[in-house]
């Protein structure tokens, strides 16, 4: 068998290595690719068993851990016995043939540098080492002479994963556990790895950086450098489980190291290492240093060619961690206004669904759109149709009501599209003030507006309540009753409110029709898209109007003047995957909101908006109020300077002050909406947000308002 003729077919220049791409963007893409290919879910180790002893001046804790991916993971924690923490910590990822006992000093090391965890602990670091569970000669008669790592990797690959992905998931869970450990300084955690362990350490660090708000920890990697085509292909020096499946389509090994920037990095390689091609290692080292410099982190990456074989420069590793984990003033990662996050499993599911759509040849109004509608219908308890946007959903709903030439009443505090959709449907628009508790339409102002239009002989065709920030206002009951008495249709703008309820009834089920947005900033997204919720007769008309008013998808016969408001199958694939997690997403948002509720009092002068009783909000936005007289623009600027971005207001300019409407509504006052839009802010809140990030938000607010 001629292996070389296959090796030559490997892609020589992965996409991420292209020199004409922005380095920071390339690094972001590499981290995302690693997360997708590794299929590792973030989790934290859970302790099943613990036994503690002291020997040789070190505290030695013997653990058995479980986490979402594996059960019964053995680990050993070492810490200086004569001192008290919290200590800087290093997660130690040993090489393929190292044993947990040899690395942690339970047995004499079989090589002088194998007891790296002991030597790091002796230098003042807490260390945690996990057992891979890959021992050869385990006694399992099914293995025969086969390497258990080969068998496990084959089993993982049958399911689309890899052994490296599973080991990196263990290491990622260990980093999470260390960050929560009271003996550890949470902002002083590094990762060491040798050989296969270096691959594990590298990938765990990239996975950590790919989490929302995540940062890569300092990494020291020994005896794992070169390019994949040489390491695994032509030199035959490495096993396949040292790399992720199909990674070379996207990035080479030096690109993975580069994607850690700006985290401190030391890569060691031996001048006498038979498994490392010296020429390729030198070339890769130069590329890593250059890539770090391109991100403004020159000097943070060091590559060390050492006089050793396939080993570890322990003294160099100790020195690196002393520098990288020294006490430094840092506020932690910046806090973005919002994060749209899909974990690696979701991204793989989306890829599979998109592939199904491409293979079917039907790229709109197909199986994925139908699945999305079915999922939405189950949540709402009424039918739903997928459309191209939340705006098209609302316009279709108003066209079905028949608003052309008549008036539509909308709250003066809402997104511009609420009014614009009515205008495009041929209606006249008037505004109604909002009430402060639920941020919905003020029932008294609605009655006054309906009376005024009736007295002037103008017909009000529809009222459009908006569930601002995901809150279903208790005042909606009065609005519905008033509209019912007068025979006025109610169309809900539920763009913010998928997953919210009022008295256990879902938002989007109160009006004749309802419109939802699946825009990227919303709680659930399809990229671009929306949903119309309605009864069976109206739903048939929705499906016709979204497709140019066709009688059916298969007939070029038009019964109404509709539009091109279809959702593509590619967008539906994203929506199906994300909507399946609605319960999980809203539960996490509620936990984050509850933490803000409990701690916002620590910011003098800042008030919070209390969600009314009976409403369970999805917390699309977390609303708070600045002190009277505070300059919101100045506060936002101070927060940005401190690394905290506020989410967009809901909203900062009421519709009667928007330039498009300002002349027509000159002199009109809406005191409820004006007070709200001038004073409120929306705090960052998104799935994956960490406690440390929430604490940073409150710290920045205290300083900005002091």
- Token digits of residue 609: 């908006």
Q: Which two tokens stand for residue 628?
A: 């009277």
Distance between CA 308 and CA 367 in Å, rounded? 59
Burial of 490 (0-12, 13-18, 19+ CB in 10 A): buried
Note the pLDDT tens digit of each residue in 110-137: 777 889 999 999 999 999 999 987 765 4
Closest CA to 335 of 196, 445, 501, 215: 215
- The domain segmentation of the chain, as residue ranges, is 16-135+144-324, 344-373+519-580, 583-705
Among 5-14, 157-166, 218-227, 465-474, where is mean pLDDT lowest?
A: 5-14
Q: What angle do CA 20, 268, 39 make, to 5 degrees?
A: 65
pLDDT band at 19 (very low <50, low <70, confident <90, very high): very low
- DSSP states of 204-231: HHHHHHHSTT--PPPEEEES--S-HIII
pLDDT digits over 272-321, tens only? 998 888 888 999 999 999 999 998 898 899 999 999 999 999 999 999 99
pLDDT for the residue 20: 39
Question: Which CATH number is 583-705 given?
Answer: 3.90.1150.10
pLDDT exceeds 70 at position 167: yes
| Extended beta strands in 15-121, E state | 46-55, 58-66, 73-80, 87-93
Average pLDDT over residues 218-240: 80
pLDDT of residue 234: 55
Select from 3.30.9.40, 2.20.25.190, 3.30.70.260, 3.40.50.1820 the CATH code of 16-135+144-324.
3.40.50.1820
Band (pLDDT 50/70/90 cuts) for residue 14 is low
pLDDT in tens, 344-365: 788 889 999 999 999 999 999 9
Q: How many percent of the chain have pLDDT more than 90? A: 74
**394-430 per-position pLDDT tens digit:** 999 999 999 999 999 999 999 999 999 999 999 999 9
Given a cut of 80, is residue 6 above it in pLDDT?
A: no
- Average pLDDT value for the chain: 91
The string of pLDDT tens digits covering residues 147-165 is: 777 777 777 888 888 899 9
* Least confident stretch, 189-203, 229-243, 286-300: 229-243
Q: What is the pLDDT of residue 1?
A: 44
> Is the pLDDT confidence value at 36 over 70?
yes
At 81, is the pLDDT very low, low, confident or very high (cuts 50, 70, 90)?
Answer: confident
pLDDT for the residue 235: 56
Cα distances from 124 to residues 87, 217, 313, 569, in angstroms, run: 7, 18, 17, 56
Residue 244: pLDDT band (50, 70, 90) is: very high
Q: What is the pLDDT of residues 491-516, one digit of tens each?
A: 999 999 999 999 999 999 999 999 99
User: pLDDT value at position 554?
Assistant: 81
Residues 6+ apart with CB under 8 A from 660: 416
Q: What is the pLDDT of residue 112?
A: 75
| Residue pair 700/644 in contact by the 8 Å Cβ criterion | yes
Question: What is the pLDDT, as a whole number, of residue 409?
Answer: 98
Write phi, then psi, for 99 (nearest 5 degrees): -110, 155
């Amino acid at each position: 068998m001629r292996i070389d003729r296959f090796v030559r077919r490997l892609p020589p220049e992965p996409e991420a290595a292209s020199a004409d791409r922005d380095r920071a963007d390339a690094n972001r893409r590499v981290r995302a690719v690693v997360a997708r290919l590794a299929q590792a879910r973030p989790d934290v180790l859970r302790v099943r068993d613990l036994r503690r002893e002291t020997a040789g001046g070190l505290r030695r804790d013997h653990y058995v851990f479980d986490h979402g991916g594996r059960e019964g993971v053995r680990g050993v924690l070492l810490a200086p016995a004569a001192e008290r923490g919290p200590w800087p910590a290093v997660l130690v990822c040993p090489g393929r043939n190292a044993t947990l006992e040899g690395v942690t000093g339970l047995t004499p090391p079989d090589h002088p540098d194998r007891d790296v965890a002991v030597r790091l602990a002796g230098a003042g670091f807490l260390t945690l080492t996990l057992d891979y569970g890959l021992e050869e000669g385990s006694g399992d008669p099914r293995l025969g002479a086969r390497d258990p790592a080969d068998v496990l990797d084959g089993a993982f690959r049958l399911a689309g994963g890899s052994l490296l992905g599973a080991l990196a998931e263990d290491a990622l869970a260990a980093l999470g556990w260390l960050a929560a450990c009271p003996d550890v300084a949470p902002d002083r955690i590094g990762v060491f790895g040798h050989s296969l362990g270096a691959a594990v350490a590298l990938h765990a660090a990239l996975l950590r950086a790919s989490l929302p708000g995540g940062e890569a920890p300092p990494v020291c990697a020994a005896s794992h450098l070169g390019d994949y085509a040489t390491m695994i292909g032509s030199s035959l020096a490495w096993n396949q489980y040292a790399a992720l499946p199909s990674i070379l389509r996207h990035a080479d090994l030096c690109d993975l190291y580069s994607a850690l920037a700006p985290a401190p990095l030391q890569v060691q390689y031996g001048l006498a290492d038979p498994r490392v091609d010296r020429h390729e290692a030198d070339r890769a080292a130069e590329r890593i240093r250059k890539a770090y410099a391109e991100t403004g982190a020159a000097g943070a990456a060091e590559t060390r060619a050492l006089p050793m074989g396939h080993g570890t420069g322990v003294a160099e590793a100790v020195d690196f961690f002393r520098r990288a984990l020294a006490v430094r003033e840092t506020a932690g990662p910046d806090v973005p206004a919002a994060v749209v996050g899909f974990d690696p499993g979701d991204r793989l599911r989306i890829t599979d669904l998109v592939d199904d759509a491409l293979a079917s040849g039907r790229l709109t109004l197909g199986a994925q759109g139908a699945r999305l509608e079915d999922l939405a219908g189950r949540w709402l308890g009424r039918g739903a149709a997928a459309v191209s946007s939340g705006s098209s959903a609302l316009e279709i709903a108003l066209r079905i009501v028949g608003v052309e030439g008549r008036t539509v009443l909308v709250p003066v505090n809402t997104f511009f599209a609420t009014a614009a959709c009515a205008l495009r449907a041929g209606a006249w628009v008037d505004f109604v003030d909002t009430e402060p508790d639920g941020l919905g339409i003020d029932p008294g102002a609605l009655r006054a507006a309906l009376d005024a239009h009736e007295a002037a002989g103008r017909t009000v065709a529809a009222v459009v309540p908006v569930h601002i920030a995901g809150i279903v206002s208790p005042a909606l009951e009065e609005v519905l009753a008033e509209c019912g008495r007068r025979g006025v249709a109610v169309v809900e703008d539920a763009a913010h409110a998928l997953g919210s309820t009022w008295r256990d009834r879902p938002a989007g089920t109160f009006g004749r029709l309802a419109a939802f947005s699946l825009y990227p900033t919303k709680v659930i997204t399809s990229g671009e898209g929306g949903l119309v919720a309605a009864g069976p007769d109206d739903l048939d008309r929705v499906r016709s109007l979204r497709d140019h008013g066709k009688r059916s998808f298969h007939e070029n016969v038009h019964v109404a003047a509709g539009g091109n408001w279809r959702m593509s199958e590619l967008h539906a694939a994203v929506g199906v995957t994300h909507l399946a997690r609605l319960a999980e997403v809203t539960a996490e948002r509620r936990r984050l909101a509850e933490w803000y509720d409990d701690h916002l009092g620590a910011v003098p002068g800042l008030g919070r908006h209390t969600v009314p009783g009976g409403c369970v909000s999805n917390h699309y936005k977390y609303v708070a109020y600045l002190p009277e007289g505070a300059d919101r623009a100045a506060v936002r600027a101070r927060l940005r300077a401190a690394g905290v971005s506020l989410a967009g207001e809901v909203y900062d300019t009421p519709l009667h002050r928007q330039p498009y409407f300002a002349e027509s509504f000159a002199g009109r006052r809406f005191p409820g909406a004006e007070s709200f839009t001038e004073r409120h802010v929306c705090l960052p809140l998104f799935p994956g947000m960490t406690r440390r990030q929430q604490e940073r938000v409150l710290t920045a607010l205290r300083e900005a308002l002091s």
